[in-house]
Amino acid sequence: MQVTCIDVDEAAADDPELRAEFGDRLPVVLLDGKEHSYWEVDEQRLRADLAR
């Protein structure tokens, strides 16, 4: 499994669409490119979904 962290504020300089898409829901967690959670991360749910 690979984890990638992206600072939307920093990355928005090169990709302003990131701010448009995620700026109002930070932090956001994507699993396999799909939004899993935002604002607050439910650790139990995230761990369960990562184990699949």
Domain count across the chain? 1
Would 37 be classed as within a structural domain? yes
Would 2 be classed as within a structural domain? no
- Kindly report, residue by residue over 1-52, the tens digit of the pLDDT: 788 999 988 998 999 998 899 888 889 999 988 999 999 999 999 999 999 8
Cα–Cα dist 51/49, whole Å: 5
Cα–Cα dist 13/7, whole Å: 11
Would 1 be classed as within a structural domain? no
Would 23 be classed as within a structural domain? yes
Would 29 be classed as within a structural domain? yes
- What pTM was estimated for this model as a whole? 0.72
Q: Note down the domain range covering 38.
A: 8-51
Would 15 be classed as within a structural domain? yes
Would 31 be classed as within a structural domain? yes
Question: Is 25:18 a contact under the CB 8 Å cutoff?
Answer: no
Would 47 be classed as within a structural domain? yes
